[in-house]
Amino acid sequence: MKIALITENSQAAKNGIIHDALTTVAEPFGHQVFNYGMYSADDEASLTYVMNGLLTSILLNSRAADFVVTGCGTGMGSMLACNSMPGVFCGLVIDPTDAFLFSQINAGNAISMPYAKGFGWAAELNLQDCYRKLFENEPGLGYPKERAEVMKKNRGILTDLKQASCHDMLTVLKNVDQDLLRAAIAGERFAEYFYPNSQDDAISEYLRKL
């Protein structure tokens, strides 16, 4: 699985801590981690939580990533921005129980975490525990197990509802503020990571033209 990490500007100084925790857990499971930044608070390309949502949707809809780990100070803004976009099902994860239940019940494709609120001593251990609960089991198995089929049915209904209520990604890209879009893909490693992994030629071509 290709996992993308996206860090918002107010928490960019913690990117190294987050990336280390994520790779420590994800790579032994055979997953690849692509760090889309921000890498430091001084990065020339700055990502707001709104841009986090837009970039998350680009990565997931193009299949350049299979799962996105993002967040902001509280995790709320990035979660809202992600869930406003087509094809993104993002959960707010604060502790390992959140991670386990989101994976088993909702089987979404993105999480948002708080990197300021409650981020204190041993925060990196909480990150590792959360990522482990996300990736150590097959998602969507259900909890409790006897409700697994009901949960699977509801995920399908939610997917259909999202498709009915959202435009396709290419339409979103054409209609969103183009300066916002350019800023969202301005990270120094975006082109290096995105274009070799994208499986949607139309999305790739549109972004190249920007």
Domains along the sequence of the chain with CATH: 2-209 (3.40.1400.10)
C-beta separation of 206 from 198 below 8 A: no
Contacts of 86 (CB under 8 A, 6+ apart): 57, 61, 162, 163, 166, 167, 168, 169, 172
| Residue that is written with structure tokens 């409790």 in the block | 144
Helix axes 76-83, 49-61, angle to 10 degrees: 40
Please list the ranges in the chain whose pLDDT falls under 70: none
C-beta separation of 98 from 91 below 8 A: yes
Q: What is the pLDDT of residue 41?
A: 94
Q: What is the pLDDT of residue 36?
A: 98
Cα dihedral 101, 107, 112, 117 in deg (nearest 10): 0
Q: What is the pLDDT of residue 204?
A: 98
**How many whole angstroms separate alpha carbon 177 and alpha carbon 198?**
22
| Residue that is written with structure tokens 């948002």 in the block | 112
Q: What is the pLDDT of residue 3?
A: 98
Classify residue 140 as left (phi > 0), alpha (psi -120 to 50) or beta.
left
R_g of the chain, CA atoms, integer Å: 16
Predicted TM-score of the model (pTM): 0.97
**How many whole angstroms separate alpha carbon 3 and alpha carbon 6?**
10
